[in-house]
Chain A
C-alpha cells in the first residue's frame, strides 16, 4: 500500500462530559474506497467534522498530503482538496441545481464562464443533467443526495468524505449511484464513506473501519470485519456473538 493521503492519528473530541470520538485513528489512500461504519452515535460524523475542519480535536492530529492540517478551517482544507457531503443534506435551497454546483466549481475557476461549464459537466456526470435548472428545494431525496455529491465533486477534491449518501434511497436508486461512486474512485480520488447500507459497503469498500462509542474497535476487509465478534456485539449487544453461534464468532 502506498503512503496514505489521509491519516488520522489518535484523535479525540468531547462535548461536555461525553467523549464523542476517543483516540480514533484511520487512514485513506487514493483510488481506494474506505468505509467507516458503526452503530448510531458511534462518533462517525464527528470524526468527519474533525477531518474537514468543522470541529477541532482536543487531542491527536490529522495528516493530509504530507502536512499536519489539524484545526485548519474548512475553507482552507477545501482548497487543499478535502470535500465532504453532509448527512443531513444542506442544499442552497433558494438556488437552482446549476447554481448550487457553481459555488463548488468556483473554488478552482475564477471566471464565471469556466465555472459554469465545469459545473454543468459535473452535474451531468452525477446524473443531474435534466434537473440543472430546477430549484434545489424541489428535488427528491435521491436527487438531493446527488446534488450533495455533485457540489462536493465540483471542488475537484483529492479526498472525498461521503456521509451517508445512500441513506434514504430505495434499492434501485442505490444501484444507480453505486457505479458513480466506483467511477470516482477509479479516477484517483480517495473516498471515505460513512454508510449503514451494508450491502453497498460490502460491494464498494476495500477497507472498513468500525467505530463504536468513539473508538475504532476493528478494521480490515469487509468480510473480516463483519465476522468480528466485537463488531457483532457493538451492533447487537453483549453476548450476541455467542448466541449467533460459531459460524460468525471467531
Chain B
C-alpha cells in the first residue's frame, strides 16, 4: 500500500478541480495536459525505467488514434470497443517494433533512430492510404451520448482522462514494486550485469515496450474521442513523439509522478508563452527546447529527482548541524 497514498491524494486533488471551476479554458488546458501526461507516462515506462529512449512514440499514439477512428467511421464499431481495440493495436505495434529492434540488438541512439523511422513511415503511409482518409483525415460523427464515448460536459472528459492517468500512475507504482520492474531498471543500469544475473534482457525490453506502447496508444484513442478528428500529422507527427519524451524527462524520468508533473509544467509554460507573445507559430516548441536545455543542464534527474536530492541534502545538513551544536554545548 506504501506509495499509493500520494497517488490517491494527487488524483483526488485534481478530481476536485471541476467543483471549483467550470471554466472551459481551464478544463481544456487540463484535459490536454493530462493527455500529454498519459502519453509521457507510456514513454516513461520504456525510457525512464528501462533506459531505452524512443524518439517515435507517435507510432503508438497514432496507431491507437487511427484504430479507434477507423473502427467507428468505417466499421460502425462502438466507440468504447474502438477505444479498447486502439490500445490493443498500440500494444501490438509495440511488440512488432520492439521485437524487431531489440532482437537486432539495437541500443541507445540506434534504437532512437529506428523508432523515429517507424513513426515516419507510418505517417507517410497514413497520409496517402484511403483507409486513414489520406490527406483529409477522419472525422468522427458528433453523437453526444456516453455510450458513444462523447460527453456534453468537458468536466466528464476531464474525469475520464484523469482516471486513465490515475491508472498509469498505479501501473508505474506496481512496476516499481515488482520483479519485472527490478529487472527493467537493472537492464537500464547495466545490461551485461543484468544478463549475468539471469535477466533475459531482450524479453524484458520487449515487454516494457508493449506496456509503454499500450499506455501511449490510450492517449491517442482519447485524443480522437475528444477532438473527433485525426489526420496523419496529428496522429504520427513528431510533435507527440517529442512531447511524450519531453514531459517525463523534465518531470523526472523513471519516477511515478515525473510525466504528470512534467506535462503540467511544460503545458503551463507553453500556454504562458502564447499568452505573452500572441500566437507566433512554433514559439511553444522553442520554449520546450529552452526548458529542456535548462533542465538537462541544471537538473538532469528532472524536477522530481532534483526535489528528492534537495530534500536529502537538507536532511544531511540538519543532522550535521545538530551534531555540531551538540559538540559545541559539550565543549
Contacts and interface: CB of A to CB of B under 8 A. Distances in A.
B186 A152 contact: no
Interface string B188-203: 0110111111111100
Given A90-B190, A90-B192, A92-B190, A75 B200 contact: yes
A94 B254 CA distance: 12
Chain A CB count within 10 A is highest, among B182, B183, B198, B201, for B198
Nearest to B197: A104
User: What band does the interface of chain A fall in when counting residues whose beta carbon is under 8 Å from B?
Assistant: 20 to 34
A38 to B, nearest CB: 22
Given A92-B186, A92-B189, A110 B196 contact: no
B190 A75 contact: no
B179 A94 contact: no
Most buried by A among B177, B185, B195, B197: B197
A171 to B, nearest CB: 28
A75 B194 CA distance: 8
B196 A112 contact: no
A216 interface: no
Interface in A89-137: 90-95, 99, 102-104, 106-107, 110-112, 115
A169 to B, nearest CB: 20
Interface residues of B, number: 19
B193 A92 contact: yes
B201 A75 contact: yes
A51 B62 CA distance: 45
A94 to B, nearest CB: 6
Nearest to A89: B193
A93 B192 contact: no
A155 interface: yes
A41 interface: no
Nearest to B189: A92
B192 A151 contact: no
B184 to A, nearest CB: 10
Contacts of A94: 189
Interface of B: 177-179, 182-183, 185-186, 189-190, 192-201
Given A92-B185, A104-B197, A107-B197, 4 more contacts: A79-B198, A83-B196, A115-B182, A151-B193
23 contacts: A52-B196, A73-B195, A73-B200, A74-B195, A75-B195, A75-B199, A75-B200, A83-B197, A86-B192, A90-B192, A90-B196, A92-B185, A92-B186, A92-B194, A95-B186, A102-B182, A103-B183, A110-B179, A112-B177, A112-B178, A115-B182, A154-B197, A155-B197
